[in-house]
Structure 1
């Protein structure tokens, strides 16, 4: 008799992997921005429009560009895209020109140096005597200084010049004005961050 042939079982078809549909990323919606905080902060300031450059400037209401004074001020800029930045201006006025090239802010046991290399220095003389003022954008290290200056307690400012130095204590109204600007700056920056997160 013919030998029996053994039949091999047919191979099982391989399962074709089913492509899983990737889930779309979940977009987290931030909590709504509280405009009342911003409105309260801006109510303490006045604004000036520079339409040629597309910039809105925010200043304290009771601060002018009068040069015959000794004060430390800050102000805010905002462009049409909503970008916000902070600037500071330090005024000196006296009988003698100092030719100021740096400042030193003393708060408690810490000194904060400010050089005039990174901003604009203006000098002049008029009926009120000599005047010098320095204007610059606030850097990250300057933000820490402003936060310290706003706190209760004495703050001393030294104006350091090639022709001599001038020392004075910062007044409480100056501190209040700086606090007004910082609160508005933080609120404007938070709103810009919120609007960016929605895009």
Structure 2
């Protein structure tokens, strides 16, 4: 029997009365009856909960796997976006490789500079002088060497160079001390008359070089001698290389009133070349033993 057609109680037959909650109630026996709307509100959820598992739609496990995969992909994409936002500018992976390589090359260059010979400018000026370790040992053994027992300095000169200042001479020699080898230039003029030399011009195959060192003077037994002994500036090394290899070299001593021209002999040129070879070998770190 449908509820909307009830007018009497089914238990006792008394007429039903609708209360404030719109429920039908028997005033005699107290039986309650739900209206259609109330019945729908209560019974509808009950019907959904009573559905058995066998009646429910089968679960699709592939859907769970898909969701998990989607989450992983989203995490990866999110991480990539964060990394890209933190990177400076539009730097790409290939660009970072180029940058790293450049930095490594710079490091190698800086290391090469540190290992570079500190005498490189002088060695460049001596590029026309050839020397190897074996030749250096031979020249070193034949050279005149004198050690100063007070300072420890070692003078290295050619055997043909004069040992005293009262002999004509034009030569170079090496003074080797704790700071390294130093090249020195010496010239000696011996005669019967004073020149009072204040300048000398060296002509090597037509090319002139002017020097104004300070000359010292002395005399004895009817002779006079004027000489100078000076360190060689780096800028004068090419001049010595030129003298060593020239076909013709002459020297003009100029004094207060007079001048004198003398020839630089082939023997003196050869001695200058040997000293330049020894000097270069020392700068290169060659050992004489």
TM above 0.5, one fold? yes
Deviation of 1:44 (Å)? 3.0
Output one character per residue of 1:76-125: Cα deviation in whole Å (capped at 9) or x when no partner.
011124x1110000000001111111100011221110111xxx532100
Whether 2:209 is the aligned partner of 1:112: answer yes
| The one of 77, 83, 86 aligned to 2:183 | 86
How far apart, CA to CA, are the structure 2 residues paired with 1:76 and 1:178? 11
| The one of 174, 197, 200 aligned to 1:76 | 174
Q: What are structure 1's unaligned runs of at least 5 residues?
A: 1-8, 193-199
Map 1:158-173 to 2 at 5 A. 158-173=252-267
| The one of 78, 95, 107 aligned to 1:12 | 78
Instruction: State how many pairs are aligned.
Output: 177
Whether 2:279 is the aligned partner of 1:182: answer no
In 1, are the aligned partners of 2:161 and 2:169 still within 8 Å (CA)?
no
- Counterpart residue number, 1:95: 192
CA pair 163-67 structure 1, distance change in 2 beyond 3 A: farther
Output one character per residue of 1:130-173: Cα deviation in whole Å (capped at 9) or x when no partner.
00101111113321211111124121100111141111111111
In 1, are the aligned partners of 2:205 and 2:246 still within 8 Å (CA)?
no
TM-score normalised by L of structure 1:
0.76
How far apart, CA to CA, are the structure 2 residues paired with 1:62 and 1:124? 23
- The alignment yields a C-alpha RMSD, in angstroms, of 3.1
Higher relative contact order (CA 8 A, sep 6+): 1
How far apart, CA to CA, are the structure 2 residues paired with 1:61 and 1:86? 16
CA pair 128-138 structure 1, distance change in 2 beyond 3 A: farther
CA pair 128-55 structure 1, distance change in 2 beyond 3 A: farther
Instruction: Return the structure number with greater strand share.
Output: 1
In 2, are the aligned partners of 1:73 and 1:178 still within 8 Å (CA)?
yes
How far apart, CA to CA, are the structure 2 residues paired with 1:76 and 1:150? 16
How far apart, CA to CA, are the structure 2 residues paired with 1:61 and 1:89? 15
How far apart, CA to CA, are the structure 2 residues paired with 1:23 and 1:154? 52
Quick check: 98-107 or 135-144, which moved more? 135-144
- Counterpart residue number, 1:133: 227
CA pair 43-114 structure 1, distance change in 2 beyond 3 A: same
How far apart, CA to CA, are the structure 1 residues paired with 2:236 and 2:199? 14
- Counterpart residue number, 2:251: 157
